[in-house]
Amino acid sequence: MFLALLELRAARGRFLLMGSVVVLVAALVGIVSGFTTGLGDDTISALRRLPASQLVFSSDARSDQFARSLLDEKTAAAWSKDADTETTPLGVSITRGTTNRGAEVDLAAFGVEPGSFLAPSVTEGDGLAGAPAESMVMSAKLADEGVRVGDTLVIDRLGIELRVVGSTERSSYGHVPVAYVPLKTWQRIRFSTPGAPASATAAIPGQFSALALRTPPGGDSTADLDARYSTTTLTKEEAYEAAPGYTGERLTMNSIQVFLYLIAPLVVGAFFSVWTVQRQPEIALLRAMGASRRRLLAHTVLQAALVVVLGTAAGAVLAGAVGLLVGDQVPFSLPAATLTATMCTVAAVGLAGTVLTLRRVTRADPLTMLGANR
């Protein structure tokens, strides 16, 4: 150990350079991980918070189910009766509106039955239960865009007026803040014709995007019920892929992370491989003086561990600082558990790169390296 620390001090310039590379790689992995988590939360946080175990969609919607699936009340009633479990309809669509303060906002309208288990709890103001029909409970994220409780929001091109009666925790869907509205109001938003009179509600169908199940069916299996009513039942986690852009974003960000995990051991391995070649005479001298292969291996691994672990720790601090710097300006989330797991992976793959150097250390021939063949 003393020799390892002595070499680190003697060649501190080289090790600082290598440590800086490890810091940057670790920080980059941490930042990418933060964006991966943040983008995921910004896409599906509203779905994660739904107190439902499964979601039932129409069978003709094989992708983007929330946008393409439509179920009617008759099918939902029959499905619920045979399933023998608590269900409630859910409507999801993205729209745009303007408040009486002049703030133009995009919002994901979630249509729910007031008083059902999907109705949101509020942190400010009133809930949908007992509120007028044209009411809305907004995500706190809309407050960042200038919307306040008590405001009136008019849906663009439809002229539907919604009064903001309450606010709930921050949640979004497809990178758009969520607004919870009564199901009947959501159906007007989803099916109304732009330019039609506001009173023209007779032609609006009683349909919705999905049927939410609070618990799994107690009677027939979901496969039997799906075959009987031409539906597709997904767990809530499987339904995340129905959110716009969720799958593509995660695939892209995870691919970047994988490549960074591949780069880390190659960079560390290349550095210590060159360092080991340069130290061959010293290694041979130590072998001639009686140093065991195990001691030389421990010496090499200790040097690598110090560089990688310290560099990774500094990279974690840098990644956390970036997260604090960007704040809520971009979708960035790096919980302590995620950061710890990411940095442990970086350190592990970095140390794995030192395996490339161990063979040269163990096979050093003191007689040859000391010039016995000259």
Q: Which of 88-97, 127-136, 160-169, 302-311 has the lowest mean pLDDT?
A: 302-311
Between 78 and 6, the more confident residue is 78
Say whether 217 sits in a helix, a strand or coil: coil
Q: Is the CB of residue 282 less than 8 Å from the CB of residue 6? A: no
CA distance 26 to 18: 12
Identify the pLDDT of residue 271. Answer: 81
Identify the pLDDT of residue 18. Answer: 82
CA distance 249 to 56: 24
Q: Which sign, positive or negative, has the C-alpha torsion 306, 312, 313, 315?
A: positive
Residue 133: partners with Cβ closer than 8 Å, 6 or more residues away: 182, 184, 185
Q: What confidence tens digit (pLDDT) does each residue in 267-287 have? A: 888 887 777 766 666 666 666
pTM greater than 0.85: no
Mean per-residue pLDDT for 343-365?
A: 78
Q: Give 211's pLDDT tier (boundaries 50, 70, 90).
A: very high
CA distance 259 to 27: 14
Identify the pLDDT of residue 327. Answer: 75
With a cut of 50, say whether residue 374 has pLDDT above it.
no
The angle at the Cα of 32, spanning 254 to 14, to the nearest 5 degrees, equals 115
Q: Is the CB of residue 62 less than 8 Å from the CB of residue 198? A: no
With a cut of 80, say whether residue 297 has pLDDT above it.
no
Identify the pLDDT of residue 294. Answer: 72
With a cut of 80, say whether residue 77 has pLDDT above it.
yes
Identify the pLDDT of residue 220. Answer: 73
With a cut of 50, say whether residue 102 has pLDDT above it.
yes
CA distance 208 to 69: 8
* pLDDT over 70, % of the chain: 85
Identify the pLDDT of residue 199. Answer: 53
Query: What DSSP state is assigned to residue 242?
Result: G
Q: What confidence tens digit (pLDDT) does each residue in 23-65 have? A: 999 999 999 999 999 999 999 999 999 999 999 999 999 888 9
Between 324 and 282, the more confident residue is 324
- Here the contacts of 11-19 (C-beta below 8 Å, separation 24 or greater) are 11/275, 14/275, 15/303, 15/307, 18/268, 18/271, 18/307, 18/311, 19/307, 19/310, 19/311, 19/314
Identify the pLDDT of residue 7. Answer: 63
Encoded tokens for 262 = 């591949």
Name the CA dihedral angle for 175, 180, 185, 186, rounded to a multiple of 10 degrees: 40
Supply φ then ψ for residue 340, to 5 degrees: -65, -45
Identify the pLDDT of residue 326. Answer: 87
